[in-house]
Amino acid sequence: MTGIRSYRDLEVWRLGMKLAAGVYRTTVDFPASEHYGLSSQLQRCAVSIPSNIAEGHERDSTREFLRFLSISQGSLAELETQLLLAAELELAGPARIESLLATTAELGRMLNGLQTKLRHRLAPASLASGP
């Protein structure tokens, strides 16, 4: 992660922000009856993803960052589930939902890759400390 000074430099955070903005743009067209239901839940999940990436990055350790990335990944799965429900309920156009789902898939791959990289960074330190 050379050249990374801030969480804002992380591509995974940027994509999380793009996803959150897309969710907000999509849910604005949901029926008023969903304002405090699925719409609100989708928005909270979407915001949670880049927020946890940012918070984890600013923590003092790689282990803490990994923990927050894991939380982001959980929120991403929750968001994907809710998007599938929104599609089933026909709350948004299929093309819009598919676009958001494609972004969730890409973000999931990026989160997995970053976690793998960070775990490898920790592995030598864990082995060096011994049993």
- Output the average pLDDT for the chain: 92
Q: Which of 114, 3, 7 lies closest to 50, judged by CA?
A: 7
Condensed to tens digits (0 to 9), the pLDDT of residues 46-105 reads: 999 999 999 999 998 999 999 999 999 999 999 999 999 999 999 999 999 999 999 999
Cα separation, 110 vs 63, whole angstroms: 18
| pLDDT confidence of residue 126 | 53
Work out the burial of residue 83: count CB atoms within 10 Å of its CB; fewer than 13 is exposed, 13-18 middle, 19 or more buried. buried
In this prediction, residues 94-122 reach a mean pLDDT of 96
CA separation for the pair 83, 99 (Å, rounded): 11
Mean pLDDT along residues 104-109: 98
Q: Are 4 and 114 in contact (CB under 8 A)?
A: no
State the CATH class of domain 8-120: mainly alpha
* Domain residue limits, the chain: 8-120
**Residue 106 in contact with residue 15, Cβ under 8 Å?**
yes
- Tokens (6 digits) for 66: 């990994």
pLDDT of residue 60: 86
Rounded Cα distance, 125 and 98, in Å = 42
**Averaged over 106-116, what is the pLDDT?**
98
Read off the pLDDT of each residue in 95-116 and give the average, rounded to a whole number: 98
* Residue 112 pLDDT: 98
